Structure 1
Amino acid sequence: MQSLTDPSPQPPCPAPFNMAAHVLRHAPRLGDKTALCIVGAAPEVWSYADLHAAVLGTGTGLLRAGVTPGDRVLMRLGNTVDFPLAYLAALAIGAVPVPTAAALTTREVAPMIAALDPRVILSDPDVPCPDDPRSISREDLRAMRALPAADVHMGDADRPGYIIYTSGTSGRPRAVEHAHRAIWARQMMFDGWYGLRADDRVMHAGAFNWTYTLGTGLMDPWTMGATALIPAPGTKATDLPTLMADSGATIFAAAPGVYRQLTRAPVPALPRLRHGLSAGEKLADVTRAAWQDATGTPIFEAYGMSECSTFISASPARPAAPGALGCAQPGRRLALIEGGTPVARGAEGTIAVHRTDPGLMRGYLDAPDETAAKFADDWFLTGDRAVMDAQGQITYLGRDDDMMNAGGFRVSPLEVEQCLTAHPDITGAAAVEVTVKAGASVIAAYYTAAAPLDEDALHRYAEANLARYKQPRLYIHTDALPTGANGKLLRRQLRQRFEENT
């Protein structure tokens, strides 16, 4: 039996289609129902009617600013409700929003602007961004909410919808272009991961301007007609359980690191919570068990990537087998590939998604050769290894390259190394992900220099040139970096060296 799923056909994406219209399809009917509550000391409540009006009003403002269907809208916005409103507004009028991490530095954003040539840049004064005459201020953006509603731009579901950036093995961020149909594919997560219902109150621990929050914490609950709960900016992780209890959260979503923090202290009773969701990096068994013991609720984990969101997961209807990640979501056609063909059940292979999956990217922006290189015939190769058992349960084995994971973000070691080797006193650098204790890993930077450098100064250097999640947490001076016969850096030797010495 092959490591291959053969799902039943799913309803095709409607035509014409618009992603924002799909997300807000219940708004006219739900009216005063709470769509969003920003929970904290002074809760801020948005009804479905408020949300719908603000999105389409902002769409009118963007049209008046000269944005037309197909134009790119770069988003340099912080952890505020402005982020999802602007994102959906751009989609509604047929523009292509480009959400970016607020932690990126001006140096990192500049080449993105050059490559994208956006029509406008939505700028928060607290978020780094080069000065640009195309910028629209946060205040002007907010004023757009009161404008008359824009008409929704309907069109081909396969047309460009949005662009997100992910780090690649080349050491430079890659622009991943998705179609409007991507939101249609996310419905397979409702039963295949979330167990999502219209009466749910879904709390996501992340910030508004994180794509994990944007999808799991906002758009998916709104698509179902549920209520999204987002912690107010500045909320401490230790305050989340109390907020969950006070707001009646029924589902909680977070990265594994948040669960680790929450299980270090007593958790109050959460009588309405049914379960937790985890994604972004591998969840440690010890963390899963600690949460179960503290709350009496399970955590359902999911695997995905920027190119295809999540498509393997556990769920209330189909929990993961011991040690396994979960199964292919209903409707997902995937395989474990070796040498271009699916391997037998029980054998190791590379996780691959069929090119017909509606959630699969359109491709890397302006990089057809790089896009084609990720496919083996009809299969998109993720580069991650796994094993599938006879029941379809998938056990994740890890990456087959040197990509790192920092707090749920994939980080290329080359990008970190290129920054460090620009330091005047560093002659060579290697960035690796190392395990510092069970369930916890960080980015470590090995470097060569005439003498060990001041670690505080290295941290300050990284803070000025790299987003926080890319910054090494450890700096280790070494006399030489290990290389192979062809001169290629052997990062795995450094990981082994670290683990042998800890």
Structure 2
Amino acid sequence: MSDASRATSPGYPGEPAPARLNLAELAIGRAAAAAPDRVALVVVTDPAAPAEAVERWTFGELDRAVRSVAAGLLGQGLEPGDRLLIRLGNTSDYALLHFGAMAAGIISLPTSPQLTADEVAFLIEDSGARAVAMSDALAVDLPPAVSRVSPADVARWRAEASPAAYGLTRAEDPAFLVYTSGTTGRPKGVLHAHRSAWGRRPMHDAWLGLSEGDALLHAGAFNWTYTLGVGLTDPWINRATALIYNGARDPGVWARLIEAHRATIFAAVPGVYRQLLRSPDLEAADLSSLRHGVTAGEALQPALLEQWRERTGLELYEALGMSEISTFVSSGPGTPVRPGSPGRPQPGRCVAVLPMDGGDEPLGPGHTGLLAVHRTDPGLMLGYWRRPEEEAQVLRGDWFVGGDLVEIGADGYLTFHGRADDVMNAMGYRVSPLEVEDCLARHPSVAEVGVTEVEVSPGVRIIVAFVVPRNADDSGGVDEAALMTHATEHLAAYKRPREIIYVEALPRTGNGKLRRRDLVSLAPAPR
């Protein structure tokens, strides 16, 4: 995506990013200059510990630590543009290295500690990482040319290094690299620029309702880009407090943390809200500080939204996004929630629906196609790391086209039909698994449900629903006839599951997202 195309293509109507921009300075340095004594970060390990006993950072302290880490990385021989792969547990060192690298102009590569040694080796080779930050517990063998950064190094730099100035990076310079699924089966790197933080600004009002003085509790770990963005970058840009929990997890801990630390906004995936709603701690906790919850990562089922509203009296705002741009469609304080829809394009976004079979002429309201974002949006990635063939597949004229299958109504509300590669083919009709899941989840005996296609014999595929019963002591689960009757009442014949399989739990990622492709492994072998 060239600078020339950004300069000549109409599209993004918002304020352009300044030519000189450093993501870490935007998120931390400016807040430290304006309010050095304000609390920036609270990390809680023991939810029962008094508020004054937890790990706490002011913006001034965070600014000095981040710039000291930047100086240490440069002193170790890394140069601006080098890649630093981060493989640490869920501690504040993760944030210091992520933002410290970007402060120095080094490209941060956050990864999950759950990756295997082989997966890490692939990322090191593919990214050309010059260094890996890892703890002893997560250590892997490194190639001879790749140096190691340890938590002890971070502690030493904080104590001894003279803080570096924020790097004089350009808005278009690379800031961080995240890996996601590729069309070839290999993970692909999504390369983001320093301007990506500038491009997050529309979501601050339109989705998060975030402002100075807020305390945002995020349910994710430090290594997740959802946490690094919504949990840290967004609060800090607004001089708000970020709350992160890194202790032992149980479903009710979030309610206790909201009460103990007076959180005003709670951010999580729908699965976390689902678990919280089952916990008696939700009823017992004082949630009077909380204005609303926000959710992203997978579609919010209307039944879950209704339960949250009934139990808390609060709103739950959904957002839709992509790894390539973060969230850009949402409900929020100024966009009323419409159950079953993630909302409308945020003010300032230039969004369209393009035909599935090609072309760059946007479809009109009510037509289903692929969700696209104009290439001038400052939040959009620079491109795929060393994957020109994959990048070519998602660019159509002035548009970046993702894999989300949607329609946008005349009033701007978007209906999400799932990923294009998740859409099932039933009797010649395209069926979104989300539509079937939303229907079945409304049945009172269903706690969770995931839907996908399963090959039951060579060439024969049917829609199968994998259901977790609401009552754990149900032997054999739900009355299947009653659930099928419910489906008959709410779904066209071709959308109904042909089979229901009862399971104890659905396969999910460490951050609670449904691993839809793994559902097939729960089904009996094809006949």
* Category of TM-score, reference length = shorter chain: 0.7 to 0.9
SS of equivalent to 1:353: strand
Quick check: 1:175–1:364 contact (8 Å CA) kept in 2? yes
Per-residue deviation at 1:164? 0.2
Quick check: 2:220–2:511 contact (8 Å CA) kept in 1? no
SS of equivalent to 1:237: coil
Indicate the residue corresponding to 2:274 in structure 1: 260
Per-residue deviation at 1:217? 0.8
Give the AA of the match of 2:113: A
Quick check: 1:76–1:124 contact (8 Å CA) kept in 2? yes
Unaligned runs of 5+ in 1: 1-5, 405-431, 449-462, 481-502
Give the TM-score taking structure 1 as reference length: 0.81
Indicate the residue corresponding to 1:308 in structure 2: 325
Indicate the residue corresponding to 2:153 in structure 1: 140
SS of equivalent to 1:60: helix
Indicate the residue corresponding to 2:469 in structure 1: none
Per-residue deviation at 1:478? 2.0
Q: Does 1:123 align with 2:134?
A: yes
Report the RMSD for the aligned CA atoms in angstroms: 2.7
Give the AA of the match of 1:187: R
Aligned pair in 2 of structure 1 residues 50, 467: CA closer, same or farther (>3 Å)? closer
Give the AA of the match of 2:150: S
Quick check: 1:249–1:272 contact (8 Å CA) kept in 2? yes
Give the AA of the match of 2:137: D
Give the TM-score taking structure 2 as reference length: 0.77
Measured in 2, the distance between the counterparts of 1:276 and 1:246 equals 17
Indicate the residue corresponding to 2:5 in structure 1: none
Counterpart of 1:383 (choices 391, 399, 403) is 403
Aligned pair in 2 of structure 1 residues 445, 334: CA closer, same or farther (>3 Å)? closer
Measured in 2, the distance between the counterparts of 1:444 and 1:122 equals 38
Aligned pair in 2 of structure 1 residues 207, 403: CA closer, same or farther (>3 Å)? farther
Counterpart of 1:353 (choices 373, 384, 393) is 373
SS of equivalent to 1:396: strand
Quick check: 2:270–2:295 contact (8 Å CA) kept in 1? yes
Counterpart of 2:34 (choices 25, 29, 35) is 29
Q: Does 1:76 align with 2:80?
A: no
Measured in 1, the distance between the counterparts of 2:78 and 2:177 equals 16
Indicate the residue corresponding to 2:22 in structure 1: 18
Correspondence 1:202-281 to 2 at 5 A: 202-266=216-280, 267=282, 268-281=285-298
Quick check: 1:447–1:476 contact (8 Å CA) kept in 2? no
Aligned pair in 2 of structure 1 residues 467, 209: CA closer, same or farther (>3 Å)? closer
Correspondence 1:438-449 to 2 at 5 A: 438=441, 440-441=448-449
Cα deviations by residue, 1:267-293 (Å, 9 ceiling, x for unpaired): 123001000000011111111111111
Measured in 2, the distance between the counterparts of 1:29 and 1:137 equals 32
Give the AA of the match of 1:388: I
Q: Does 1:289 align with 2:306?
A: yes
Per-residue deviation at 1:360? 0.8
Per-residue deviation at 1:295? 1.1
Per-residue deviation at 1:322? 3.8
Indicate the residue corresponding to 2:57 in structure 1: 46
Quick check: 1:263–1:291 contact (8 Å CA) kept in 2? yes
Quick check: 1:103–1:467 contact (8 Å CA) kept in 2? no
Indicate the residue corresponding to 2:382 in structure 1: 362
Per-residue deviation at 1:18? 0.7
Q: Does 1:478 align with 2:485?
A: no
Measured in 2, the distance between the counterparts of 1:8 and 1:90 equals 29
Aligned pair in 2 of structure 1 residues 381, 110: CA closer, same or farther (>3 Å)? same
Per-residue deviation at 1:475? 3.5
Aligned pair in 2 of structure 1 residues 198, 247: CA closer, same or farther (>3 Å)? same
Aligned pair in 2 of structure 1 residues 388, 83: CA closer, same or farther (>3 Å)? same
Give the AA of the match of 1:12: P
Quick check: 1:302–1:326 contact (8 Å CA) kept in 2? yes
Counterpart of 1:179 (choices 155, 175, 193) is 193
Indicate the residue corresponding to 1:56 in structure 2: 67
Measured in 2, the distance between the counterparts of 1:444 and 1:290 equals 25
Per-residue deviation at 1:378? 1.0
Give the AA of the match of 1:186: R
Percent identical pairs in the alignment equals 42
Q: Does 1:9 align with 2:13?
A: yes
Measured in 2, the distance between the counterparts of 1:69 and 1:199 equals 34
Quick check: 2:11–2:377 contact (8 Å CA) kept in 1? no
Counterpart of 2:338 (choices 316, 321, 329) is 321
Where relative contact order (Cα < 8 A, 6+ residues apart) is larger, the structure is: 1
Cα deviations by residue, 1:367-418 (Å, 9 ceiling, x for unpaired): 22221211111111112111111111111111111499xxxxxxxxxxxxxx
SS of equivalent to 2:137: coil
Number of residue pairs the alignment of both structures matches: 433
Indicate the residue corresponding to 2:412 in structure 1: 392
Per-residue deviation at 1:210? 1.1
Give the AA of the match of 1:353: V
Per-residue deviation at 1:7? 7.5
Measured in 1, the distance between the counterparts of 2:84 and 2:451 equals 32
Per-residue deviation at 1:104? 0.9
SS of equivalent to 1:233: coil
SS of equivalent to 1:229: strand
Measured in 2, the distance between the counterparts of 1:259 and 1:468 equals 10
Quick check: 1:442–1:472 contact (8 Å CA) kept in 2? no
Per-residue deviation at 1:29? 2.1
